[in-house]
């Protein structure tokens, strides 16, 4: 049996080994950050009853330092530690309320919790306890504003009449969620305070289910609005696409009757301008369409995670959301597809017309080369004629020189017949000049071929 001292030494050794890295393999630089991201808690640990107010503000990424500074100012006002310099997810208890700030790619969320009992939901929302001067300085544009009230299980469920009066819109949708552990009601309307409203009744929620349920509802509210962001732009470009489609049909029909290359080039320029305009619209909306599609998928996933069960007489959240959101997403998908189709058709039409222009230009170049070839043949004939004349001229001058030489010899006392010798020299001089000229032309031609 081991002694206590030996057991203590073994425990110490195991503790030392646990503190040391067992692998000497270099670690990926972002491994710890990625692991922390996967294990980050995306929701608050809440206990009913409570109320919260949720804001989603669209803002550029370069606003994050300003947002972090404002959150730090609020923390200093309540005597708590501000977020770190590079922190994008921060939660703090400010006494009367609790703040959670999250920075995302293109938006920021501010959620204010107030865990206090209440008699009338939404009468005194959590955001009412937040300094209004601080709220007015938040950067960005408001996209989502939602109040959520969660009543505990000791409070009796509200009747449909009470719900209609509470939401004051005459339309109530709702269902049991989380496998029947809670009931959720809403009207999906923006009320006079510029906020939407969601009421939750705790039937049998466990402690961690509360935070997850609230987070899913907030994400549904956020992502459904983000998914619909391209809808206004989509509606604006629908008439532009119709005009572009009609113009393409007209240009395609006109291309059949073109007879000269100038008209073809003019039509090609028009097609190029139309294609550039279509590509501009595509570049303007492509990123937004892709992001919208991703947000829509998240909404459907979060709705599925609610595990809804029908409340008799009420439309379920899933039915309302998918029915309304799917039509908007269908419009965006239709326009996105039409943009891609129009771009493809413009590319084909431009390619066909460009081929036609190229063929016309090749025909012109062929005719030009043929004309140049004819001129080259004419120049060759003229050159041969000139060469023949140059032989005669050179022979004439050389015979003159020969004649002068013979006359000089006769004047020197030589008994020669100048006329006879000059006549004899004619064929010799002509043949000599001819072969010299031909040799020079042959040498020049060889040098040209070598180049």
- Stated pTM of the model: 0.72
Asked if 150 and 200 count as a contact pair (C-beta separation under 8 A), the reply is: yes
Q: What pLDDT is attached to residue 434? A: 79
Overall size of the chain counted in residues: 451
Per-residue burial over 93-130, b if 16 or more Cβ lie within 10 Å, else e, is ebeebbbbbebeeebbbbbbbbbeebeebbeebbbebb
pLDDT digits (tens, 9 = 90+) for 227-271: 999 988 888 888 888 888 888 888 777 776 666 777 777 777 888
pLDDT digits (tens, 9 = 90+) for 50-80: 999 999 999 988 899 999 999 999 999 999 9
DSSP state of 149: E
What distance separates the 2 farthest-apart alpha carbons in the chain?
Answer: 158
Q: What pLDDT is attached to residue 259? A: 65
- d(Cα 240, Cα 244) in Å, to the nearest integer? 6
Both tokens of 39, joined, read: 């294990």
Counting as low any pLDDT under 70, the low residues of the chain are 1-23, 36-43, 256-259, 353, 356-360, 380, 384-388, 445, 448-451
Q: What pLDDT is attached to residue 147? A: 96
């Amino acid at each position: 049996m081991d002694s206590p001292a030996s057991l203590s030494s073994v425990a110490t050794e195991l503790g030392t080994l646990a503190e040391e890295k067992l692998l000497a393999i270099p670690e990926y630089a972002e491994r710890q950050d990625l692991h922390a991201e996967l294990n980050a808690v995306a929701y608050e640990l809440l206990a009913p009853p409570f109320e919260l107010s949720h804001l989603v503000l669209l803002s550029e990424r370069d606003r994050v330092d300003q947002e972090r500074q404002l959150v730090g100012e609020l923390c200093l006002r309540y005597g708590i530690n501000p977020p770190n310099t590079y922190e994008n997810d921060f939660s703090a208890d400010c006494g009367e309320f609790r703040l959670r700030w999250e920075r995302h790619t293109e938006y920021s969320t501010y959620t204010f919790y107030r865990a206090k009992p209440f008699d009338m939901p939404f009468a005194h929302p959590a955001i009412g306890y937040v300094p209004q001067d601080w709220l007015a300085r938040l950067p960005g544009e408001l996209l989502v504003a939602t109040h959520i009230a969660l009543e505990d299980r000791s409070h009796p469920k509200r009747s449909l009449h009470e719900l209609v009066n509470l939401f004051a819109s005459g339309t109530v949708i709702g269902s049991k969620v989380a496998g029947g552990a809670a009931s959720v009601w809403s009207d999906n309307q923006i009320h006079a305070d510029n906020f939407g409203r969601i009421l939750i009744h705790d039937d049998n929620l466990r402690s961690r289910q509360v935070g997850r349920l609230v987070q899913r509802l907030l994400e549904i509210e956020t992502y459904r609005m983000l998914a619909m962001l391209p809808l206004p732009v989509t509606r604006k470009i629908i008439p532009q696409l119709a005009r572009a489609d009609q113009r393409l049909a007209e240009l395609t029909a006109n291309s059949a009757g073109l007879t000269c290359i100038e008209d073809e080039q003019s039509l090609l320029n028009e097609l190029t301008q139309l294609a550039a305009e279509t590509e501009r619209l595509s570049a303007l909306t492509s990123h937004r369409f892709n992001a919208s599609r991703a947000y829509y998928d998240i909404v459907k996933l979060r709705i599925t995670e609610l595990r809804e069960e029908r409340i008799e007489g009420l439309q379920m959240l899933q039915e309302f959301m998918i029915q309304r959101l799917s039509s908007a997403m269908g419009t965006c998908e239709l326009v996105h597809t039409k943009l891609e189709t129009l771009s493809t058709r413009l590319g084909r039409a431009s390619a066909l017309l460009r081929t036609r222009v190229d063929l016309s230009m090749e025909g012109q170049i062929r005719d030009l080369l043929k004309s140049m070839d004819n001129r080259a043949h004419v120049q060759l004939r003229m050159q041969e004629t000139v060469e023949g004349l140059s032989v005669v001229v050179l022979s004439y001058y050389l015979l003159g020189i020969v004649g002068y030489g013979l006359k000089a010899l006769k004047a020197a006392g030589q008994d020669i017949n100048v006329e006879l010798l000059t006549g004899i020299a004619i064929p010799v001089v002509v043949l000599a000049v001819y072969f010299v000229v031909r040799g020079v032309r042959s040498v020049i031609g060889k040098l040209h071929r070598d180049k």
